[in-house]
Structure 1
Amino acid sequence: MDPDRVLEGLDPEQLEAARSLRGPVCILAGAGTGKTRAITHRIAHAVASGVAAEQQILAVTFTTRAAGEMRGRLRSLGAPRVQARTFHSAARRQLWYFWPQVIGGPTPTLLDSKVQPVSRAAASCGLQLDRTGLRDVAGEIEWAKVTQVRPTDYEKAAVKAGRETPLAIHEVARVYEAYEELCRENNLLDFESMLELTAAMLNENSAVAERVRDQYRYFVVDEFQDVNPLQKLVLDAWLGDRDDLCVVGDPDQTIYSFTGATPSYLTGFSAAYPHATVVRLVRDYRSTPQVVRVANSTLRSASNGADSRRELVAQRPDGPEPTYTEYDDDPAEATSVARKISALIDAGTPAREIAVLFRANSQTATYEQALSDAGIAYTVRGATRFFDRPEIKQAIHTLRGARHGAADEPLVSTVRHILTPLGLTERPPEGRQARERWESLAALAQLAEDMAGGESGGDSGRVTMEDFVAELDARVATEHAPELEGVTLASLHSAKGMEWDAVFLAGLTEGMLPIVYAESAEQIEEERRLFYVGVTRAREFLSLSWALSRSPGGRRNRKPSRFLDGLRPASPSLAQERQRRGQGKQARTVSCRICGAAVTEAAERKVGRCRDCPADYDEELLERLKQWRSGVAREQKVPAYVIFTDATLQAVAEQVPASSSGLAQIPGVGAAKLERYGAAVLDLCAGSAPARPEDEGDPDE
């Protein structure tokens, strides 16, 4: 392969990145700036130039989809043997390979989910949790493990980090300890322990480390802003004392800090490697100038001020102006979005190139109903995994059996002929279940068309059934699902790394984005970055909308998201909203009401006293408040802490407010929560049965 030909078509910044063949290299890549193109061409250039052999390169990504896309591009660039894997996939292969000689005994069972063992651990502690509570506790255990916090240290670490825990902190610690013991006794291994054991194996066994480091000498890590301390531990173990490392990321797309991820490894890369080459990609090839303007304005409004180096520069022709629409209620918003989607499809936009994005998964149901009513196919991202679907398992089994007999037949027509008896008709059938089955089979047929057209690395007219089945087997192994034909419904978190021609950002209200439990300045800015991620998923058409009420005829008490300030057309109340928020953000000095010392931690400020000062709350009242909160959370199908955190309830039990004004003075009781839950809380404080909270405007999560 001619090294110079690999570099053709790159812009000046991408070219600089691709020519920086020896590490350390840091590529700061804004949304849509072609980072995957830059790093795959860099890898191919390193191979073509003889700097690194294909088998010695490990490219690490965060999703199986991204790894699959990278492998496809590397194949087309003449480097098919480069390993592109997720952290977990790469670590698992190494750990399992060396397990017999390093650890010995039967290999453990790898957990797909912590929910079941967490349920057993909680039961052993005398706790009965619903599924939401189990997921929240599992999330806390995951956070603790990726940040290298042991059960005995969890309470102290959680307080220091300001974690809003689903149970009392000491209860989470108990469940965490019981969970670890259960995993040891039953030879179970979660993903975090797998990474930890891999790092320990490399750091403590020189023979294994030598073999692994001899195998992999050239590293590329994508989405480096999402690396957590445990993944960094594994990466350092892979590297040893070498520095042939290229990292790629965007600090403005840091949206997983609640899981333990930190952008500090990316932002501090130059400090860790003073001789590093730093390249900034700023030319946005994804979105129109109109969408890019919204993205840049979003970051410019951040509390830490603008950074001109992070401004995206649009490269595409002009497109339609983004739209901003206010609706009376959620069903009206969903119905209108479905109508607009139908118009886009009628005008020629494929359904799979359209997405509706939300802050919370609970917002999906209204849009599923609206799209179903409009007869529009859709798929919910994050639902049942594609290759776990019964129809897909059956289809792949049939295709494998037919690969030899159809070796010389045209790929596309052969695949469609095989899938027709399984339910692939010319037109989608009626009924939700039948349509979902049809959409899954249609995705396989579309994959065959893509391969025959060269989109997956094959040459037109030369791709055989053998090639197709081999591609399917590789995708099954890496869980790299093909795209489904249908409008995508997804949370903003799950949409990261994706892009569509048309994006509808729906439900943009205060309490939803930013989410109601985002209270600190850091949390608010992460919510802003989440909004930025949503905006930058759109190539051409961007719609931003919000509803003033949850249900028809309900109270219109919602406010548009603060992130729309300066973007949406001015309204008479906008200046007043800004003034109100500004007043609310003014720092207040809080003194301990027991000893008079200044208190600074969030939990201490809420209860109004130092952590070590004696509590004087009414224990019976606190228990009544928690029971009431649990009931409201079940009724509204939200985590309990979305109603009120433990610290807020304890503050109520200590101060026992007798009026709305007194209740409003307690940190964590904002205007919206006062209106929704104030009457019920005051009734509990007075010893009466609580009034039912307003249904309208309840937060979703």
Structure 2
Amino acid sequence: MTADEVLLGLDPEQREVAASPLGPMCVLAGAGTGKTRAITHRIAYGVHSGAYQAGRVLAVTFTARAAGEMRTRLRSLGLPTVQARTFHSAALRQLHYFWPQAIGGPAPEVLAHKAPVVGEAGARLRLQLDRTVVRDLASEIEWAKVSMLTPETYRSAAQRAGREPAELDLTAMARLWEAYEEVKTARGVIDFEDVLLTMAGIMSDREDIAAQVRSQYRHFVVDEYQDVNRVQQALLDLWVGGRGDLCVVGDPAQTIYSFTGASPQHLTQFSGRHPQARTVRLVRNYRSTPQIIALANLLLSSGPQRSDTVRLQAQQEGGPAPLLTAYTDDQTEAAGTASSIKALLAQGYPASQIAVLYRINAQSEAIEQALSAAGVPYLVRGGERFFQRKEVRGAMLLLRGAVRSDDGTVPLGNLVRDVITPAGWSPERPSGGATLERWQSLNAVAELADDLAERDELRMRDFVAELERRASEQHAPTVEGVTLASLHAAKGLEWDAVLMVGCSDGLMPISMAEGAAEIEEERRLLYVGLTRARRYLELSWAAARNPGGRASRRPSRFLDVAASLLGDGARSAPRKSAAKARKPVRVKRCRTCDSSLDTAAERKIGRCSDCPATYDEDQFEALRSWRLAVAAGQKVPAFVVFTDATLIAIAERRPTSPAELTAVSGVGARKLAAYGESVIGVLSGQDPDQLAQRCVAALRSADDD
């Protein structure tokens, strides 16, 4: 392939990206505008024109699936040796190579999951944490680490960011993080964030190692750049080393991971950091119909105007208008969604080209039940990875064993089906349940063999090698079934038909979203969902959660602007009355200055951090002394008895009865039974040490009983 041939078939904007392989470039690429095509052709043009050496290019993206797709495209352009990896994969590869030189010995094992270690850290602190809370706390640790914080700097940074870790105040969260690091050290393991942080630290401290990395990689391409977090940007800066050969690609309108530490500012401020950078906008959408694009553009136009927002231009032929359907309750919505899907299947839409998208995973249960009742096959995205499924691993083992028996006389697809029959494949499709799920996985392997054999004259040895390559890249074949996915999990994917459920205020935007920034991220999340659809788009919402329940929901406020396309049913309640309805629930104000309370600790205490404390100093110190004595007697950290915020709230409210004490946030039934009488005694002026001794003795006696 020649350099000129690489540019054939590109639109003018894509061609501008590809034909300018040197120097800094910022590509603002709207949804469905062919950004992967543009950047892979940029790399190919650079190599085939002599501007690049293939081995000195590093393309970075955020998911193994996206990296695998990029490698596949680069191979088709004659570039099998160009590295396309995730940030973590690239950093881990470097870490394994340089660890013996920088630190000594082999690199430690990387934790597959944080939750078990977080759970052990919580147990060390005598914290009772359920599985959901452990998962949330693990996510909080991830946010802190990618933000390049330490347990010492976490509290102030988290308070500024309005973080509210599940069931713990910020002081307790910092202590849990310290315990988590202690458990990791004891186990001799590191986590995925440590991979990035450690590699960045090595390159910062060892100029000789940094020089080796920079001599290996000269040209960089970063996809989905709006999702870069602080530590990834720091590592990227070290890789680039001040040179100008960096191309970043992203879309500020698809920034939906701010809660994980990602920031679109790296993308929007790129030209400021690289004054010589060329900016190219990809605006021609090749994915969706004009009707879907009109709705997506309308949704974005109602948000804050930004000069870096891409207004899409549809290139596909016209299709059906997007629909908005109102249902009485969630069950009826699920049944209606299943009915719409059956109609789409009858029209010839493949099940694998239909998706149901929702805001939170809990919404999938009703949809799953409705699809099962309707006999519609489905798969839930975000579950077990394809190549980790037991039946797939068993099939691959059988296929490896059959390599030598392939004499070329039987078509590959037929041979594969014969081999994987013991794993659960059969010519007849099972009716449902787990048997159907296993069959769908195995059938996807068989159909992949058909597809590959049709394009190339592959035999079993080649097919097994292709499966192993796909397994390493998490490039799963298509499983025939309707996809159920959260809006976050749907990012980067597309289907012929998309049905978005739960398009009501409280779910879209989610009720937990507070402040303008979080609300706008919810708008972008809806935009991402809309632009997953190629031809058919149906939105729905339910007025009540349960059958016969009060119809208190309204359509999403984001759809107000789309009434001209979706009909008057898209209009939500007037914003003024809706705000009045939400205010008592969502907004708490400082009892001193009446300003809004932004953090969990402030809401618990009842005043903002800038206002002076209103408790009696001697009384508060007595409470602190009592808490310390009780904690020592129970052999637990002090915050396990009461967190600082709860103790301050108790001191400021001065409860004189159990009923008044339970009104303090953080004092539930269990803590009232354990400490209530003792706390009220301290507030009434009794000796805190004696009360603590009696409290600990009573707790021990209760445990013995």
What TM-score results when the alignment is normalised by the length of structure 2?
0.84
1:407–1:466 Cα contact (<8 Å) kept: no
For 2:522, the equivalent position in structure 1 comes to 527
Q: Is 2:229 the counterpart of 1:228?
A: yes
- Give the Cα separation in 2 of the matches to 1:176 and 1:375: 46
Q: What is the CA-CA distance between 1:578 and the residue it aligns to? A: 3.1
* Superimposed CA distance per residue, residues 382-431 of structure 1 (whole angstroms, 9 cap, x where no aligned partner): 11111111111111111112223326353222222222332222332123
* Corresponding residue to 1:495 among 490, 509, 527: 490
1:217-616 equivalences under 5 Å are: 217-302=218-303, 304-305=304-305, 310-406=310-406, 408=408, 409-453=410-454, 460-568=455-563, 569-571=566-568, 574=571, 576-581=573-578, 593-594=591-592, 596=593, 606=603, 607-611=606-610, 613-614=612-613
C-alpha distance 439-551 of structure 1, shift in aligned 2 (>3 A):
same
Following the alignment from structure 1 to structure 2, what is the Cα–Cα distance between the partners of residues 478 and 185?
31
- Structure 1 residue 65 corresponds to structure 2 residue 65: yes
Please state if 1:85 is matched with 2:85: yes
2:160 maps to what in 1? 160
Report deviation, 1:178.
0.5
1:68-217 equivalences in 2 (<5 Å): 68-166=68-166, 167-217=168-218
Instruction: Output one character per residue of 1:105-149: Cα deviation in whole Å (capped at 9) or x when no partner.
Output: 343121111100000101111101001100111111000000001
Partner of 1:690: none
Cα deviation code 1:626-677 (max 9, x no counterpart): xxxxxxxxxxxxxxxxxxxx999998997899xxxxxxxx99xxxxxxxxxx
Partner amino acid for 1:202? M
Structure index of larger Rg: 2
Q: Which residue of 2 aligns with 1:683?
A: none
Give the conservation status (yes or no) of the 8 Å contact 1:514–1:524: yes
- Alpha-carbon contact 1:91-1:198 (below 8 Å) kept: yes
Shift, 1:520, TM fit = 0.7
Matched with 1:675 is none
Matching residue of 1:623? none
Contact 1:20 1:277 in 2 (8 A): no
* Percent identity of paired positions between Structure 1 and Structure 2: 52
Distance 1:120 1:604 in 2: 25
* 1:432, distance to aligned residue in structure 2 (A): 0.9
Give the conservation status (yes or no) of the 8 Å contact 1:3–1:45.
yes
Deviation at 1:465, TM superposition (A): 2.1
Supply the distance in 1 between the matched residues of 2:466 and 2:131 (Cα, whole angstroms).
37
1:595-617 deviations in whole A, cap 9, x for unaligned?
x5967855687434444522559
Q: Could you tell me which runs of 5 or more consecutive residues in structure 1 were left unpaired when the two chains were aligned.
A: 454-459, 620-645, 658-665, 668-686, 688-701
TM-score normalised over the length of structure 1: 0.84
Aligned equivalent of 2:688: none
Assess, with a 3 A threshold, how the Cα gap between structure 1 residues 222 and 589 changes in structure 2: closer, same or farther: closer
Contact 2:590-2:597 at 8 Å conserved across structures: no
- What code does the residue aligned with 1:467 have? D
Any idea what the Cα deviations from partners look like across 1:155-184, whole Å, max 9, x if unmatched? 111101111221111111110011011112
CA distance in 1, matches of 2:13, 2:652: 59
Residues 655 and 306 (structure 1), Cα distance of their counterparts in 2 relative to 1, 3 Å cut? farther
Q: C-alpha distance in 2, partners of 1:572/1:513?
A: 16
Partners of 1:608 and 1:651 within 8 A in 2: no
Q: Is the 8 A contact 2:47 2:53 kept in 1?
A: yes
Q: Relative to 1, partners in 2 of residues 1:293 and 1:211: Cα closer, same or farther, differing over 3 Å? A: same
- Say whether the 8 Å CA contact 2:226–2:250 is kept in structure 1: yes
Residues 25 and 517 of structure 1: CA distance in aligned 2, closer, same or farther (over 3 Å): same
User: Equivalents in 1 of 2:295, 2:307: separation in Å?
Assistant: 15
Cα shift readout 1:519-576 (whole Å, capped 9, x = no counterpart): 1100000000000000000000000000011111111111211111122445489475
Partner SS state of residue 26, structure 1: strand
Query: Is the alpha carbon distance of 1:616 and 1:300 closer, same or farther for their aligned partners in structure 2, counting shifts above 3 Å?
Result: farther
Aligned to 1:287, the other structure's residue is in SS state coil
Separation of aligned partners in 1, 2:111 and 2:502 = 34
Does the aligned pair in 1 maintain the 2:560–2:570 contact within 8 Å? Answer: no
Report if aligned partners of 2:562, 2:570 keep a CA contact under 8 Å in 1.
Answer: no
How well do the aligned residues superpose, as a CA RMSD in angstroms?
A: 2.9
Partners of 2:651 and 2:30 lie apart in 1 by: 48
Given that 1:354 and 1:500 are in contact with CA atoms closer than 8 Å, whether structure 2 keeps it comes out as: yes
Q: In the alignment, what sits opposite 1:671?
A: none
Q: Deviations over 1:275-297 (max 9, x none)?
A: 00110000000000000011001
Deviations 1:6-34 (A, max 9, x none): 11100000000001111211110000000
Aligned with 1:489: secondary structure? strand
Identify the residue that residue 625 of structure 1 maps to in structure 2.
none
Q: Equivalent residue of 1:427, what SS?
A: coil
**Partner of 2:484: helix, strand, or coil?**
strand
SS across alignment from 1:566: helix
Superposed CA deviations along residues 325-372 of structure 1, whole A, max 9, x for unmatched, are: 000011111111111111111211110100000100011111111111
Measured at CA, do residues 250 and 652 of structure 1 come closer, stay the same or move farther in structure 2, by a change above 3 Å?
farther
Equivalent position amino acid for 2:415 in 1: T
Query: Is this contact kept in 2: 1:299–1:306, CA < 8 A?
Result: no
The superposition leaves residues 211-235 of structure 1 with CA deviations (integer Å, 9 ceiling, x where unpaired) of 2222211111100000001111111
Please state how far the C-alpha of 1:580 moved relative to its aligned partner: 2.6
Number of matched pairs: 626
The alpha carbon displacement at 1:467 in A equals 2.1
Residue 599 of structure 1 contacts residue 605 of structure 1 at CA under 8 Å; is this kept in 2?
A: no
Distance, in Å, in 1 between the alignment partners of 2:652 and 2:452 is: 66
Q: Is the 8 A contact 1:599 1:610 kept in 2?
A: no
Amino acid at match of 1:333: E
Q: In 1, are the aligned partners of 2:430 and 2:436 still within 8 Å (CA)?
A: yes
Distance (Å, rounded) in 1 between the aligned partners of 2:571 and 2:344: 31
The residue type equivalent to 1:578 in the other structure is: R
> Is the Cα contact below 8 Å between 2:146 and 2:261 reproduced in 1?
yes
* Cα 1:278/1:439, change in 2 over 3 Å: same
Aligned counterparts of 1:243 and 1:151: Cα–Cα separation in 2 = 35
| Mapped contact 2:95–2:107 kept (Cα < 8 A) | no
SS of alignment partner, residue 488 of structure 2? helix
**Is contact 1:377-1:486 (8 Å) kept?**
yes
In structure 2, the CA distance between the partners of 1:647 and 1:321, relative to structure 1 (3 Å rule), is farther
Do the aligned partners of 1:604 and 1:611 also contact (CA within 8 Å) in 2?
no
What is the rounded CA distance, in whole Å, between the counterparts of 2:598 and 2:368 in structure 1? Answer: 42
Q: Residue type of the partner of 2:550?
A: R
Question: What is the Cα deviation at residue 79 of structure 1?
Answer: 0.9
Query: Which amino acid in 2 is paired with 1:543?
Result: E
Q: Distance in 2 between matches of 1:426 and 1:615?
A: 76
